[in-house]
Structure 1
């Protein structure tokens, strides 16, 4: 018998050696809602197919957790892949990116996807869910897994596996489908409580539940500007001929990676110049350029580079950061739990900000506000700033796109720029790279390089940061005049040597251990790249320094 210390229920029980975790769930959590999806078993994040082989601790994750929802997403992708293969033998699914709460996918089925195709795919997926189609976990050696991939004409997956530097691969089989995912799947399709396939030319949208509402689909909302940005990101990948991690690794191996770096940086510089030209074209009506984006989107460096581009075309903007308008620490509003609410607009002295903007536009000398984050105190410059006639003010910060911040200005006097971090490459056709994964790795590296904060401190606040973005960033993105992608296709290879030791330092008794291990696994396929390849003015320098 095996003794399990259940950290979820805070109790200990014994089970038979060799039974699956799914069987343990049936015995201990038969009526649990939402359903248990995965577990942290002796500090390894595993699926419910895992066998109990040793005494130890276990923590369960339901479909109502981020970890459980990720399992559901991966399983739903395999469900879609299987349905497409059943209906169109040899048909392929390409998981492109997330559009807010849903996944955008493209299909290769021999013809343009029609509404009838979408209905048939939805119906076939529903049939497999109703039949509770089983998924079989396949654990095999790397060489054998690569051979299985090649036999199924999965050359890209085989090339990816050779870079993982691990002895065993955990893959899954469902019918004729054999696939590899960056994390465990659910035991069967019956766990997928609800989903919807929506036509979205030239592909489809796969709608799935969120951790917050695991039994219902979120309200679908069109975000055409963000969708356009994703298409642009894919176009960039094709331009530089780097669409997958395997492409990136090949360029590193053959010492041609500097060409990819230079092309990617040149494309960003070209886009920056286009934005500067647009601002010039809007003069003289434009008074303020507002720049916002989620955490670690590169707002500071983007703002500097855009200001430089504006100077090139003859403008002399004044640059302002909203971080300098925080209330003094003791005056900062608090959350219900007593912690300081730094994420909301309430933390910003909006009246002072508008007063100084108005004074600058009237040609007055202004002693700009500054904030000392160490002391938690605000002070004012000792030298005044003067705005030249018909020159713009460039403002960057979390709330810059919120009209409640700039309530004194009409919309036509503002240019709004939203930043995104939409990685141009994918791991393979069924494993995309999440923007939040790129951003937390960026932030972790920057926090260590410049703020003397370890990885644990970064991960402690990340959930609150993400919640703040849902309220303060994303609702305003579609009102932006332009959305700029700050991601670079090669950046994760540069960040990897910085991030891996930080993630490895998170100990097994930490609540963030499972997430740290997931991110380490996520970074494995990337070959490391020295920071010397990164130009001095790159947005990536905001995170790695020098």
Structure 2
């Protein structure tokens, strides 16, 4: 049985406080850093030393004993936006409240993951058990690369970015972050060019509000620089007729299910395009729930490459009959944010939620309350259709920008303040307001017009 995200967050925060206590008691000379989330856990490390398997085992045993002892936890929300929690006589700041006591609690594990370790939590959909841990090597490498890049620029925490803004040097920061994005997009385009003899189809996927549309258009520009002509093909045109589509829990057609697509026809058409043949691409009419009588003629020329974007882009079952060498899969997501302090990371899920809320209000006429209500359903779809397949990607693109919450604050705050106190999502709105309070506002006029951030705040050069 699943549990609410707020309850699961308390369970996680309780274990994090217990972890801080355990490290403090076992290794008082070390500084623990909670670096980033990874799968259903968090990756942790010591500032200046490698953690051995034996040390991880000691920490896990100590933490399990603390949980079993049913410790009472003292915490209080203060004006600085943190919950102040007492750990071994010290006050630890926390973005989230823990449970009142350390037990009973859902299962957990500590996994040695050099140079640090992972504190693995249960999933809120199945809190009573732990999922098998399969090391996400590509995802971890992307996290580590971004983390080290920030450290090389002496940007380790949010306060470092705030200081740059206070000193009126934000333009340099923006240029550096955007230059990194452009360099990564260019490198991906170069890699595709090197595999040009085989690669005919580019698949782009990622969770909600990752900036996939802007990424796809920036990639298209770099592909053109390399002499390739990208051609877009929408997966939406391959939906089955509405009456043939399975229903979700609310009795509505489940267009997020892989089976909602006509997979045999899609595979036949793509194989034909790879072989240089002409196809008649269907046109799906959402009003009638059926394809139109006539489609669009399409043929892939020698200098053209097909670009497809969709939630199932990384799922091996989508194009199961095609030669894998013809495909280049890209995973796009906001993967990394700076910590507020060593113990308080910024969840990238909440960054994407803020992005989505700002975009929904500005371009889609959706109220912040409705965005917050829909988020749980969005997350369930991601957990089913996207996250399990992220390691299938040939390359990952981190769409996070070090300054983005500073830039989004002035847009998001009025929306969150407008959420009525009696609304079910009011506690979430208050939490996000507390989170944003740690970010110095940034003048968005300095953000480039091709920035991924423009997909959410507007003023960009691309059409969406």
Q: Which residue of 1 aligns with 2:176?
A: 263
Query: Cα 1:364–1:116, aligned 2, differ >3 Å: closer, same or farther?
Result: closer
Q: Normalization by structure 1: what TM-score? A: 0.78
Tell me, in whole angstroms, the C-alpha distance in 1 between the residues paired with 2:217 and 2:410.
Answer: 27
Alignment of 1:39-118 (within 5 A): 64-108=3-47, 111-118=49-56
Tell me, in whole angstroms, the C-alpha distance in 2 between the residues paired with 1:380 and 1:310.
Answer: 34
User: Which range moves more in the overlay, 95-104 or 461-470?
Assistant: 461-470
Tell me, in whole angstroms, the C-alpha distance in 1 between the residues paired with 2:296 and 2:77.
Answer: 66
Q: Which residue of 1 aligns with 2:186?
A: 273
Tell me, in whole angstroms, the C-alpha distance in 2 between the residues paired with 1:452 and 1:315.
Answer: 37
Q: Which residue of 2 aligns with 1:508?
A: 421
Q: CA deviation at 1:385?
A: 4.4
Q: CA deviation at 1:90?
A: 3.9
Tell me, in whole angstroms, the C-alpha distance in 1 between the residues paired with 2:77 and 2:197.
Answer: 65
Q: Is the contact made by 1:292 and 1:396 (CA closer than 8 Å) also made in structure 2? A: yes
Q: CA deviation at 1:193?
A: 4.4
- How large is the RMSD of aligned CA atoms in angstroms? 2.5
Tell me, in whole angstroms, the C-alpha distance in 1 between the residues paired with 2:114 and 2:179.
Answer: 30
Q: Is the contact made by 1:97 and 1:432 (CA closer than 8 Å) also made in structure 2? A: yes
1:131 aligns with 2:44: no
Aligned positions, number? 459
Query: Cα 1:510–1:352, aligned 2, differ >3 Å: closer, same or farther?
Result: farther
1:424 to 337, 341, 344: 337
Tell me, in whole angstroms, the C-alpha distance in 2 between the residues paired with 1:426 and 1:544.
Answer: 24
Query: Cα 1:272–1:254, aligned 2, differ >3 Å: closer, same or farther?
Result: same
Alignment of 1:145-224 (within 5 A): 161=80, 170-224=83-137
What secondary structure sits across from 2:63 in the alignment? helix
Tell me, in whole angstroms, the C-alpha distance in 2 between the residues paired with 1:371 and 1:237.
Answer: 45
Q: CA deviation at 1:358?
A: 3.9
Q: Is the contact made by 1:64 and 1:214 (CA closer than 8 Å) also made in structure 2? A: yes
Alignment of 1:282-297 (within 5 A): 282-297=195-210
Q: CA deviation at 1:119?
A: 2.1
Q: Deviations over 1:131-151 (max 9, x none)?
A: 2232222566x5xxxxxxxxx
Query: Cα 1:373–1:494, aligned 2, differ >3 Å: closer, same or farther?
Result: farther
Tell me, in whole angstroms, the C-alpha distance in 2 between the residues paired with 1:121 and 1:354.
Answer: 50
Q: Is the contact made by 1:322 and 1:398 (CA closer than 8 Å) also made in structure 2? A: no
User: Which range moves more in the overlay, 371-380 or 405-414?
Assistant: 371-380
Query: Cα 1:490–1:336, aligned 2, differ >3 Å: closer, same or farther?
Result: same
Q: Is the contact made by 1:240 and 1:264 (CA closer than 8 Å) also made in structure 2? A: no
Q: Which residue of 2 aligns with 1:3?
A: none
Q: Which residue of 1 aligns with 2:350?
A: 437
Q: Is the contact made by 1:455 and 1:503 (CA closer than 8 Å) also made in structure 2? A: yes
Unaligned runs of 5+ in 2: 460-464
Tell me, in whole angstroms, the C-alpha distance in 2 between the residues paired with 1:504 and 1:114.
Answer: 46
1:520 to 425, 430, 433: 433
Higher relative contact order (CA 8 A, sep 6+): 2
Q: Is the contact made by 1:422 and 1:485 (CA closer than 8 Å) also made in structure 2? A: yes
Q: Is the contact made by 1:359 and 1:366 (CA closer than 8 Å) also made in structure 2? A: yes
Alignment of 1:310-389 (within 5 A): 310-327=223-240, 332-364=245-277, 368-370=281-283, 384-389=297-302
Q: CA deviation at 1:540?
A: 1.2
User: Which range moves more in the overlay, 318-327 or 357-366?
Assistant: 357-366
Query: Cα 1:535–1:378, aligned 2, differ >3 Å: closer, same or farther?
Result: farther
1:490 to 403, 415, 419: 403
Q: Is the contact made by 2:41 and 2:118 (CA closer than 8 Å) also made in structure 1? A: yes
Q: CA deviation at 1:123?
A: 2.3
User: Which range moves more in the overlay, 225-234 or 396-405?
Assistant: 396-405
Q: CA deviation at 1:369?
A: 4.5
Q: Is the contact made by 1:367 and 1:380 (CA closer than 8 Å) also made in structure 2? A: no
